[in-house]
Amino acid sequence: MVAVLFASPLIAVLLGSFKSPAEAARTPPTYVPDEPSLRNYTALQDSSAGVWTAIGNSALVAAGSVVLTVVLALLAAYGFERYRFRGSEAVFVLMLAAIMVPFQILVSPLYVVLNALGLTNSLVGIVLVITTFQLPFSVFVIRNSFAAIPGELYEAAAVDGAGLWRTLRALAPLLRAGLITAALFTFFAAWNEFFAALILLADQDRFTLPVVLTTLISGARGSVDWGLLQSGVIVTVLPCVVIFIVLQKYYVSGMTAGAGK
């Protein structure tokens, strides 16, 4: 019953994406389309807003954010777990406290910094912003994966003469669940990011998919074309659903890694 409760909005959006504009706005609503058609998906593809360009931009932002976040989080988590120093736990907690800071209150200083660096209206700037806000949680997850590794493995690597980087490369396969979990969260955040892209991007050819969808939903006299909007939602959600289903087992184990210790 809980699964049906959570799945019902997605099912409703999927069915609505096959309705005509008149049927989508009908009151009371119809649950199953009277005459299903691909009109909304065709209109989405043929729109002048550049949906395919937006999909490419979103993919670039998501890929860049995932790679940068996972690499930095892996190195930071390795340092926090293996190289303790006085005050390291306080630094770690301070870093985690950044999770509690809403992005919206930092928009103005972020814009000033990115403008000074020449990174406004740039996908690189969006990648840096998303990476900054995803790093604390990613470090936390990957550090838990390091905590689940027995200390004897580190000692064995030291006995064999492995240095810092060789030890990290040898242990990397054991961190697969944590790395994939961090990558999943970062991908979802980057793919669905709307507010940062809306504020920091100015050129339409650099808009990401969530921003472009807002320009497609208006019909005559300011009405909302619900069918077109719902087809855009399906296009946005589909990659996330597929990736999550494929990597679900790693996600579950990555969230519980290190809990026993």
Q: pLDDT of 244-254, one tens digit each?
A: 888 877 766 65
Of residues 182 and 219, the one with the higher pLDDT is 182
pLDDT at 162 exceeding the cut of 90? no
Per-residue model confidence (pLDDT) at position 43: 80
Per-residue model confidence (pLDDT) at position 253: 60
pLDDT at 173 exceeding the cut of 60? yes
pLDDT at 124 exceeding the cut of 80? yes
Please check whether residue 229 is in contact with residue 41, taking contact to mean a CB–CB distance below 8 angstroms. no
Select, from the ranges 28-37, 50-59, 151-160, the one with the highest average predicted confidence (pLDDT). Answer: 50-59
Question: Can you say whether the dihedral through the CA atoms of 133, 134, 138, 140 is positive or negative?
Answer: positive
Please check whether residue 30 is in contact with residue 20, taking contact to mean a CB–CB distance below 8 angstroms. no
- Which of the four pLDDT bands, split at 50, 70 and 90, describes residue 59? very high
Per-residue model confidence (pLDDT) at position 72: 94
Contact residues for 186 (Cβ-Cβ < 8 A; gap 6+)? 62, 65, 66, 69, 70, 130, 131, 134, 138
Q: What's the mean per-residue pLDDT of the chain? A: 84
Question: Can you say whether the dihedral through the CA atoms of 229, 231, 235, 236 is positive or negative?
Answer: positive
Of residues 122 and 30, the one with the higher pLDDT is 122
**Burial of 33 (C-beta count, 10 Å sphere; 0-12/13-18/19+):** middle
Torsion-angle region of residue 149: left (phi > 0), alpha (psi -120 to 50) or beta? beta
- Which amino acid belongs to residue 65? S
For residue 194, the 8-state DSSP code is -
Q: Residue 169 and residue 179: Cα distance in Å, rounded?
A: 13
Per-residue model confidence (pLDDT) at position 37: 83
**Element of type H or E holding 98:** none
Q: Which of 67-76, 147-156, 173-182 has the lowest mean pLDDT?
A: 147-156
Per-residue model confidence (pLDDT) at position 104: 81
Q: Residue 199 and residue 125: Cα distance in Å, rounded?
A: 11
pLDDT at 18 exceeding the cut of 70? yes
Could you give the percent of the chain with pLDDT greater than 70?
Answer: 92
Assess if CATH 1.10.3720.10 describes domain 2-28+52-256: yes
The Cα-based distances of 138 to 73, 108, 161, 228 in angstroms read 6, 25, 30, 35
pLDDT at 50 exceeding the cut of 80? no
Contact residues for 54 (Cβ-Cβ < 8 A; gap 6+)? 207, 208, 209, 211, 212
Summarised one tens digit per residue, pLDDT across range 178-218 is: 899 899 999 999 999 998 888 888 888 889 989 888 877 65
**Element of type H or E holding 158:** helix 151-159
pLDDT at 260 exceeding the cut of 50? no
Per-residue model confidence (pLDDT) at position 261: 46
pLDDT at 259 exceeding the cut of 60? no
Q: Which of 3-12, 86-95, 244-253 has the lowest mean pLDDT?
A: 244-253
What integer is the mean pLDDT of 34-58? 82
Could you give the percent of the chain with pLDDT greater than 90?
Answer: 20
Q: Residue 189 and residue 249: Cα distance in Å, rounded?
A: 20
Domain boundaries, the chain: 2-28+52-256
pLDDT at 222 exceeding the cut of 60? no
